[in-house]
Chain A
Amino acid sequence: GQQVMQIPQYQHVQEGEDFTTYCNSSTTLSNIQWYKQRPGGHPVFLIQLVKSGEVKKQKRLTFQFGEAKKNSSLHITATQTTDVGTYFCAGPDYGGATNKLIFGTGTLLAVQP
């Protein structure tokens, strides 16, 4: 079945440093979504990428979708303490063979003030 891996599992940065998490799927994705989960909270949707090679920005966050639509990345510029949490990518298969929504393994970001 579909597997979605993320690296690193955990990253600790000083406030102001940059952060990147990478997402790799075992299968080609029709689109990819990113979610953020604050400690003790539930996942909250950040963005969806659909096109091969697509790049989207949300303030300090930059999201990329690979050309082959099997990988993606999330880059945060100049991290802040409010960025703390776990970042998940997800590969929806709506209308596809399974209709599943499989999440990546997640990257936990810790930001030291």
Chain B
Amino acid sequence: NAGVTQTPKFRILKIGQSMTLQCAQDMNHNYMYWYRQDPGMGLKLIYYSVGAGITDKGEVPNGYNVSRSTTEDFPLRLELAAPSQTSVYFCATVSYGTEAFFGQGTRLTVV
């Protein structure tokens, strides 16, 4: 069991470029969440999904998009990258009512 797998682990983007952060889980969890964590700060919810085909905005959705076509995958799309999106991005999955399992994170720098 791999659990929650995030790719890539590190990425440097130029301002205005786009990229997709991948999140895949093999635990058959319905709930999936994307967070960003700025240096020395807490976890801010970007988008989340309660099942395939269902997504909703979190606290800081601007500049991001998501899709959930399968239970396993929940990619996060950054369009027109900006320096303010420099952060560590975490994907997490939950089986209803239980703990969240996190991926190892993607460290993104926008220059």
A interface residues, Cβ below 8 angstroms from B: 1, 33, 35, 42-45, 48, 88, 90, 92, 94-95, 98-106, 108
Contact of B102 among A42, A98, A105 (CB under 8 A): A42
B43: nearest chain-A partner, CB-CB: A103
Q: Is the CB of A102 within 8 A of B90?
A: no
Q: Complex Cα distance A99/B97, Å?
A: 10
Given A45-B101, A94-B96, A103-B35, 16 extra CB contacts under 8 A: A1-B59, A33-B100, A43-B43, A44-B102, A45-B99, A45-B100, A94-B31, A95-B96, A95-B97, A98-B56, A100-B45, A100-B58, A101-B48, A101-B100, A103-B43, A105-B42
Q: Is the CB of B100 within 8 A of A94?
A: no
Number of residue pairs A-B, CB distance < 8 angstroms: 59
**13 A–B contacts, CB within 8 A, in A order:** A35-B100, A42-B102, A44-B102, A45-B100, A88-B42, A94-B96, A99-B31, A99-B56, A101-B48, A101-B100, A102-B45, A103-B45, A106-B43
What A residues does B58 contact at CB under 8 A? 100
Q: Is the CB of A100 within 8 A of B48?
A: yes
Q: Complex Cα distance A103/B59, Å?
A: 11
Known contacts A43-B90, A100-B48, A103-B42; A90 and B100 CB within 8 A of each other: yes
What B residues does A92 contact at CB under 8 A? 94, 97
Q: Is B74 an interface residue (CB 8 A)?
A: no
Q: Complex Cα distance A1/B56, Å?
A: 14
Q: Is B81 an interface residue (CB 8 A)?
A: no
What B residues does A42 contact at CB under 8 A? 90, 102-105
Q: Is B92 an interface residue (CB 8 A)?
A: yes
Q: Complex Cα distance A88/B98, Å?
A: 16
